[in-house]
Amino acid sequence: MSAAATPELILIDGEPANELPVTDRGLQYGDGLFETLACRDGRARLLSLHIERLALGCERLGMRCDALDAIRAEISAAARVPHPTLIKLIVTRGDGVRRGYHSAAARGQRRVLLRYRHPQESPELALQGVCVRIASTRLGENPALAGIKHLNRLEQVLAASEAPQDAAAEALMLSSSGRLVSGTMTNVFLVQEDRLITPRVDRCGVAGVMRRLVLQLAAACGLDAAERNCAPEALHTAREIFLTNARIGIWPVRRVAERALPVGEVTRRLQRELSARLADA
């Protein structure tokens, strides 16, 4: 749902370039992973958490990950500009030297780094909150792919495209078995009674870096925070709802479908904790 200009920097395997071979398995099969990092003051935020998730993704997909040190260095170097940026890092299984799905047909690995200017975003979104809708496109359930940030994102494309871009800041998605999972590009948190809940991502969804950090911050604050299976009806009863990702941090939800809700104190407290943590980082 977010907008930004075309990339101001593209590196392929560390070299400036704009194009990659059509035989790349990232194009052919979505055979790869990605990370999106927010960069401020010349530094990539939460870099270690992003690298950790990338490593986990490589392991889950059976991809070698011996380039992680190079990737870390490359991201750090690309972030070293005065203006705020977003870096998208894509890692694919490289070129298919033979046809066919088998990973033994792949040669090497390829990394693509794209740096964008950080989009100008109204600070009102984090202050007053955003409106979200419920997508009708659902997330298929597959534990083999759940949690990791892989390149098979058609479900998110379809969900995001169900309504005009300005209809809502985000679309929340249910799993094929009817559980609330996440937004198309965000994780979701709900305050129910005095408990902070975020849906489990063991059957579908992405284990967001910001989701992980918010769970840590909540625990450090003494909040009762947990990953749970989550019925969509919880959206009607939750005292507070907020969205997270690496770019937006925490966005309060002030309207979900037809329901208006206030920005509550748990959301505000976690926003403050997050600001402090990111200032330290």
Subset of 205-224 contacting a second copy (CB under 8 A): none
Calpha distance 238→196 (Å, rounded): 10
Check binding of 100 to a second copy (CB under 8 A): yes
- Smallest distance, Å, CB 26 to a second copy? 5
Considering the complex, state which of residue 116 and residue 242 has its C-beta at the smaller distance from a second copy. 116
Residue 222: CB partners within 8 Å, gap ≥ 6? none
Check binding of 81 to a second copy (CB under 8 A): no
Helix (H/G/I), strand (E/B), else coil: 137 = coil
Considering the complex, state which of residue 145 and residue 261 has its C-beta at the smaller distance from a second copy. 145
Calpha distance 48→52 (Å, rounded): 6
Which residues between 161 and 200 bind a second copy (CB under 8 A)? 161, 164-165, 176, 184-185
Q: Which of 150, 195, 239, 255 binds a second copy (CB under 8 A)?
A: 150
Options 2-10, 48-56, 65-73, 258-266: segment touching a second copy (CB under 8 A): 2-10
Q: Which of 8, 52, 141, 227 binds a second copy (CB under 8 A)?
A: 141
> For residue 248, which of 208, 220, 281, 215 has the smallest C-alpha distance?
208
Considering the complex, state which of residue 1 and residue 221 has its C-beta at the smaller distance from a second copy. 1
- Smallest distance, Å, CB 249 to a second copy? 17
Check binding of 160 to a second copy (CB under 8 A): yes
- Smallest distance, Å, CB 216 to a second copy? 27
Q: Which of 8, 55, 56, 137 binds a second copy (CB under 8 A)?
A: 137
- Smallest distance, Å, CB 77 to a second copy? 18
Check binding of 98 to a second copy (CB under 8 A): yes
Distances (CA, A) of 252 to 109, 239, 274: 39, 12, 13
Residue 18: CB partners within 8 Å, gap ≥ 6? 10
> For residue 96, which of 110, 82, 83 has the smallest C-alpha distance?
110
Report CA torsion sign: 78, 80, 83, 85: positive
Given the DSSP bridges, would you call strands 95-96 and 106-107 parallel, antiparallel or unpaired?
Answer: antiparallel
- Smallest distance, Å, CB 127 to a second copy? 22
| Contact criterion met (CB below 8 Å) for 231 and 179 | yes
**Please, what is the Cα angle at 43 between 40 and 45, to 5 degrees?**
75
Q: Which of 49, 58, 61, 180 binds a second copy (CB under 8 A)?
A: 61
- Smallest distance, Å, CB 177 to a second copy? 9
Calpha distance 181→229 (Å, rounded): 8
Which residues between 238 and 277 bind a second copy (CB under 8 A)? none
